[in-house]
């Protein structure tokens, strides 16, 4: 883990506690609220923010290594912290990002963010049905947002709504704003503790100083979307590494050789060794491609213009390719975990099935077929990836 503006030992202790309690908490739908807040208070989300802004001054690779460490301990927590890390990286990337000074102060105070533009209205992905009605000093917003990752942990919520003239209004408000309700209604097979439920906005007042029109803020550099996708790939890498951890521990401490084995212990069984070796290879592959993509992104943030966009497009393709490999590696490592032992490894109390479920659910956020297709088109014809944040 990179040097942080925190007490390293306290962070290590929090991550160890998360790892130790992850399976039981998922089984009981018990959120790690105290641990997550302790990480935020310690400044872990400021890893990539410049030292002059009160951060650790870490590189993109440093941030990704931290995310992998968190996901290794509990991938639910890593996913829940994604909106906060994205806010921090926007601050690190651009001096002109909206609310920069305000959000930087919030991060330094240990604030957590949630945010989503997603709705379940039957429209195309990215369509907006939430409305923003103009009133004196601001807008009144009404609508329902889904996949509000990190919602119940958060201090602030960011989203968007359509104004009366059809423009997208983006805003960030405190979660205790009257009319804002956060529901714990996320019911996927995995990522059950990411707090990705719905957020209801019932006649919520948004002040002018808390909002801006999306059309007024833009960038021809796909860096922000690329980092958001790299974050998801890092979560997958952390899942793969945790599958290796659990395989090794189970073989050493609990597994018994099957009747057909000539080994006296599972640790000496060549088939078990081969399986653990493949899990290790998958986890190493996932981690390696994610870190390589992080290095590709390092020098691509900030600049704009044709040359900057072209260079950032190449990095975005590398991130997309890393996402494909990280997803497939995490899914395979999570499946192979069950091959190191017999029926006992499927005990629900162990909770090993959560690795595959979490990897599978995260993979569905942005399907890897689209990533591979974008990469293929780039290699064949030089077609640049979209700047939508999906690649």
* pLDDT tier for residue 261 given thresholds of 50, 70 and 90: low
391: closest CA among 224, 271, 273?
224
Euclidean distance between CA atoms 147 and 138, whole angstroms: 26
pLDDT of residue 366: 82
Are 229 and 323 within 8 A, CB to CB? yes
- pLDDT tens digit sequence for 176-222: 999 999 999 999 999 999 999 999 999 999 999 999 998 777 666 66
Closest to 350 (Cα-Cα) out of 360, 337, 331: 337
**Structure-token match 């609220």, residue found:** 33
Mean pLDDT of the chain: 91
Mean pLDDT of 239-251: 97
Dist. CA 312–CA 383, nearest whole Å:
13
Percent of the chain topping pLDDT 70 = 91
SS3 1: coil
Dump pLDDT digits (tens) for 148-172.
999 999 999 999 999 999 999 999 9
* pLDDT higher at 225 or 73: 73
Does domain 223-381 sit in CATH 1.20.1260.10?
no
Is the pLDDT reported for residue 119 higher than 50?
Answer: yes
Within 8 A by CB and 6+ apart from 25, the residues are 31, 32, 74, 193
**Domain residue spans of the chain:** 8-112, 131-216, 223-381
Looking at residue 67, what is its pLDDT? 97
Residue 226 tokens, joined: 């690329």
Sequence-distant (6+) residues with CB within 8 A of 172 are: 99, 103, 113, 115, 156, 157, 158, 210
> Among positive and negative, which fits the CA dihedral 109, 42, 37, 57?
positive
* Helix/strand/coil percent split, the chain, to 5: 55, 10, 35
Write down the CATH number for the domain with range 131-216.
2.40.110.10
8-112 folds as Butyryl-Coa Dehydrogenase, subunit A; domain 1 (1.10.540)
Query: What's the mean pLDDT in 370-377?
Result: 95
- Give tens-digit pLDDT for 19-35: 999 999 999 999 999 99
Contact 256, 266 (CB under 8 A): yes
Asked whether the predicted pLDDT for residue 370 surpasses 70, the reply is yes
Provide the pLDDT for residue 5. 46
Mean per-residue pLDDT, 25-52: 95
Question: Other C-beta atoms within 10 Å of 98: how many?
Answer: 17
What band does 106 get if pLDDT is binned at 50, 70 and 90?
very high
User: Residue 8: pLDDT band by 50, 70, 90 thresholds?
Assistant: low
| Model confidence, pTM | 0.94
Kindly tell me the sign of the dihedral angle through the C-alpha atoms of 66, 70, 71, 77: negative
């Amino acid at each position: 883990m990179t040097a942080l503006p925190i007490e390293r030992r306290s962070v290590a202790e929090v991550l160890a506690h998360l790892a130790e309690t992850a399976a039981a908490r998922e089984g009981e739908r018990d959120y790690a609220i105290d641990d997550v807040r302790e990480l935020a208070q310690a400044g872990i989300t400021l890893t990539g923010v410049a030292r002059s802004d009160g951060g650790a001054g870490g590189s993109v690779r440093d941030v990704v290594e931290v995310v992998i460490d968190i996901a290794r301990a509990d991938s639910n927590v890593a996913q829940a912290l994604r909106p906060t890390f994205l806010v921090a990286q926007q601050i690190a990337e651009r001096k002109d990002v909206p609310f920069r000074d305000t959000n930087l102060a919030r991060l330094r105070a240990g604030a957590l963010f949630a945010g989503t533009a997603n709705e379940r209205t039957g429209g195309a992905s990215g369509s907006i049905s939430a409305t923003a009605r103009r009133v004196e000093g601001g807008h009144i917003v009404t609508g329902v947002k889904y996949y509000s990752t990190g919602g119940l942990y958060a201090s602030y919520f960011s989203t968007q709504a359509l104004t009366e003239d059809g423009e997208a209004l983006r805003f960030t408000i405190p979660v205790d704003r009257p009319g804002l309700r956060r529901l714990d209604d996320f019911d996927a097979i995995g990522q059950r503790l990411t707090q990705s439920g719905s957020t209801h906005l019932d006649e919520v007042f948004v002040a002018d100083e808390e909002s801006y029109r999306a059309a007024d803020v833009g960038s021809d550099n796909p860096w922000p979307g690329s980092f958001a996708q790299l974050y998801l790939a890092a979560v997958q890498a952390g899942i793969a590494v945790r599958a290796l951890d659990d395989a090794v521990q189970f073989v050493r401490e609990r597994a018994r050789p099957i009747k057909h084995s000539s080994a006296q212990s599972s640790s000496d069984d060549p088939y078990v060794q081969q399986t653990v070796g493949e899990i290790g290879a998958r986890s190493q592959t996932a981690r390696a491609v994610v870190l390589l993509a992080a290095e590709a992104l390092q020098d691509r943030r900030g600049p704009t213009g044709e040359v900057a966009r072209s260079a950032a497009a190449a990095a975005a393709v590398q991130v997309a390719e890393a996402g494909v490999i990280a997803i497939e590696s995490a899914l395979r490592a999570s499946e192979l975990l069950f091959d190191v032992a017999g029926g006992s490894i499927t005990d629900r109390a162990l909770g090993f099935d959560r690795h595959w479920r979490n990897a599978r659910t995260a993979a569905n956020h942005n399907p890897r077929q689209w990533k591979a297709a974008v990469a293929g088109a780039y290699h064949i014809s030089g077609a640049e990836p979209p700047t939508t944040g999906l690649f």
